[in-house]
Amino acid sequence: MANFLLVHGAWHGAWCWQRVLTPLIQAGHRAHAVTLTGVGERAHLLQPGIDLETHIQDILAAMDAEEMSDVVLVVHSYAGMLGTAVADRRPQVLRHLVYLDAVLPAPGESWSSTHAPDTRAARMAASQADPLHSFPAPDPAVFGLSGDDHAWVARRQTRHPGDPYTQVLQFDPQRVASVPRTFINCTEPPLATIDVSRQRMVDPQFWDGHWLSGSRVVEMKTGHDPMVSDPQGLTRLLIDCSR
């Protein structure tokens, strides 16, 4: 039995894991999905001042409340920043860290550091113009979704707090790399804001050479939200990561 803790990316919430949680539990595992402060069913808490530390504490608090150890921590997209921080602070409680088409930061970078200048400028401008300091979700078509899946995600997405977009993260790459890691690369279609992470996941120099030690890459031929577009395939991969 494994303890899965699932952390969504920007604009999403625990709701996005519905199609994965049940199969994991039916397979005999514990599985819990976190909703970060200010989004999903916690969108009523959106306010200026929500930052990376707020969201890091959301994950650590969930681990404590669920009394989880030997955790398979699954972090999607933006939450790659958060999973990296948790592995830096509590490597001893993690069995495996899964970067699900996620941000792979370098020390001293923000989530926005690897984005195209026009993307970064548009999101920062939207945050600065909003009294709650947040920016809107994109059309789920960029995640490769269509039909009912597109509509389901579109009506559930919420604005995302702005401060986590530009706040830098400091961490020890060697300590993070002490945790076994898998990068799940979603390629059809690939999301442009993950392109730099795709380069890093195979770069022997990334994290001063520590990344490739204890890491692997697997590919999913689906879009950026595989928990929606291919939950069965994702569930199989996650169970494999727990072994």
Q: Do strands 71-76 and 30-34 pair parallel, antiparallel, or not at all (unpaired)?
A: unpaired
Q: d(Cα 15, Cα 41) in Å, to the nearest integer? A: 8
**Options 77, 112, 134, 215, the catalytic residue:** 77
77 noted as active-site residue: yes
Question: Residue 98 contacts by C-beta under 8 Å, 6 or more apart in sequence?
Answer: 72, 73, 74, 75, 181, 182, 184, 238, 241
Q: d(Cα 34, Cα 108) in Å, to the nearest integer? A: 25
Q: d(Cα 3, Cα 5) in Å, to the nearest integer? A: 7
Residues with catalytic function: 77
